[in-house]
Amino acid sequence: MFNHLPMTRFFTGLWIVLVLAITFAATQARPTADEGWMLPLVIIVWILTLLALMPSSLRHFVGVPIRGLRTRPILYWLIVLVYICSALALWIVPYQPTNGRQIAPVEFVLIGALLWGFVYLIAYDAHEPELRAMGSKLGKSKLTGIMGTLTTLVLIFFAGEAYLRIFYITTDGYGFTSMNYWWYRNYGWSHPNSLGYRDYEPTPNDPAHPLTRVAVVGDSFVMGHGINNLDDTFPQRLEKMLGTGYDVNVIAESGWDTDVELYNLQKYPLKPNIVVLSYYLNDMDYLLRGTDRNPDNNFIFPQNPAADWFIRTFFLPNYVYYDVMQFASSARSTSFSNDLISVHMDDTLWSQQAQHLFEIAAWAKRTNTRLIVLVWPELAAIDASKPATQRVGDFFRTQNVQVVDMTSVLHGKTTAELTVNRFDTHPSIEAGELAAEQLYSTIMQKEQAP
């Protein structure tokens, strides 16, 4: 098979091991309708391997394409490089391997088959004189330098891709990046309860053991955007602080604005005794979509479909395009924060928002539910947020609703301490812990009052 090479036994053994591994993985796999390629691929690999290992004239025939390519070493080099890129893309594009996600058996079938093909390309029926001739031709070719540069770029690209997929599965503040999407797939959506929220199952009501049910309503701040461990989110921290006799339930999803929060609170199957409304300045976004004041207008999105697909599919261009070129721009980030603040000072828009907030306060009074409003400033611009957070807090105070304004609590701490990462101003574990402490204090003050 791999004749006249010092590593003949190694390559032959590697081929056999790969075929056996592919077969084992195939027996464990449960292919979907889109993965009908798996069984034919395994059969083809077995047939070609048997032809290559058995003493047959067909063994020579299997190596014809490779021997032809080796007479043209630059083309051969290019084919190998294209194969590597195509093989990695065949795995990455449909499956998106990332840290925190288990590789499925069907992927091992694909990976094994691609490695099997790579071994065929570089070692099948290779002869030392043939390899020396290739080296001589490459040394004389003017294209060797170009191929070397191209190979280096490919290696850098996939090394960067691998690094980001292993070490940078994290969120951004705006939900634009591939890393953000796969963080949700691997962490944010990995622990839904039966009601679809990132939370543990609510404790059922038991007349023999009455409990105080606390519902925390909101958006990505509540569900723990950017925090890998569910137990580190502030609703779970609050539940731990409150202890026995309390059950804290999350009613929140990323992207929720004030216009949908009351609706989802009302349809929650268990009636809460206390509702904590987590309010962040982007809760007015529903009034800005489709207008010139949409905060997302501060960012530039790729218009070319091919460029958009490439940037969204692969992490390295995604990271460069969004994180480095846009999120690192202080001008864009400042404009985004200023937009969130300014809409709260717009009397026309605020009157529409205040109506929704009034409906939440009215529902709490009507249902005899204690309402606490947790107001978050823009964590990268705490002082600049004060006019907006003050307006929100003052409104609820006029409705006789308790307000926990995090502006003063977080004042003096650095942005790095308060946010989940440098490109995402959602609350860090530390900021969530501070919020849980403030809520605990507020809840217990009233609970313990005579």
Kindly report the pTM of this predicted structure. 0.83
pLDDT confidence of residue 6: 47
Q: Are 99 and 165 in contact (CB under 8 A)?
A: yes
247 within 8 A of 203, measured Cβ to Cβ: yes
Domain positions in the chain: 8-167, 191-306+325-447
Give the Cβ contact number of residue 52 at 10 Å: 20
Helices (H), 96-185: 105-123, 128-140, 144-167, 178-183
Whether residue 199 contacts residue 250, with contact meaning beta carbons closer than 8 Å, is answered with yes
Helix 347-366 and helix 330-344, axial crossing angle in degrees, nearest 10: 60
Question: Which residues lie below 8 Å from residue 215, measured CB to CB, with a gap of 6+?
Answer: 248, 249, 250, 251, 265, 268, 272, 274, 275, 276
What pLDDT does residue 224 have? 96
Q: Which CATH architecture has domain 191-306+325-447?
A: 3-Layer(aba) Sandwich (3.40)
pLDDT for the residue 292: 80
Residues in the chain where the model's pLDDT stays below 50: 4, 6-7, 448-450
The answer to whether 41 touches 99, Cβ cutoff 8 Å, is: no
Q: What is the pLDDT of residue 1?
A: 56
Alpha-carbon dihedral angle through residues 419, 421, 423, 425, given to the nearest 10 degrees: -10
Q: What is the pLDDT of residue 37?
A: 94
Residue labelled with tokens 């904590």: 276
